[in-house]
Amino acid sequence: MTINLIATLHAAPALHERIKADMNQLVPLSRAEPGCLQYDFYAINQEGAPGIDNTGGDFVVIEKWQDGEALQQHGASQHFQAFMTAYTPEQLRLTVQVLAEAV
């Protein structure tokens, strides 16, 4: 079963440029993984849009995986683990929303 998710990165402001640089290395490695169907990295526009407030976070990754096994392998991959352990919990917090078909 395909898994779609949104990973939100909540980062210390002083680390935004470093996180962007690290993610620019992580994205192509993640896209090359077996079972990765989508892995797109975005900065959240802190200004939002007229009449719309952002819900929080600094960056998001929109992901689509072939199945749960592919997602688990990504979470255990050397490049993902290296990224996550490069920051303390105070510097970077990751929240994940798994999406379900609404219709």
Q: Is 52 exposed, middle or buried (0-12, 13-18, 19+ CB in 10 A)?
A: exposed
Instruction: Report whether 57 contacts 44 (CB < 8 A).
Output: yes
First-to-last C-alpha distance (Å) of the chain: 16
pLDDT in tens, the chain (103 residues): 999 999 999 999 999 999 999 999 999 999 999 999 999 999 988 777 787 777 778 999 999 999 999 999 999 999 999 999 999 999 999 999 999 988 8
According to the model, what pLDDT value does residue 83 have?
A: 97
Domains of the chain with CATH codes: 3-99 (3.30.70.100)
Helix (H) or strand (E) holding 13: none
- pTM of the complete model: 0.89
According to the model, what pLDDT value does residue 50 have?
A: 80
According to the model, what pLDDT value does residue 22 have?
A: 97
According to the model, what pLDDT value does residue 53 have?
A: 73
Using DSSP, state whether 8 is helix, strand or coil. strand
Q: Which of 63, 58, 87 is nearest to 73 (CA)?
A: 63
Helix (H) or strand (E) holding 42: strand 36-43
Separation CA 65–CA 10 (nearest Å): 22
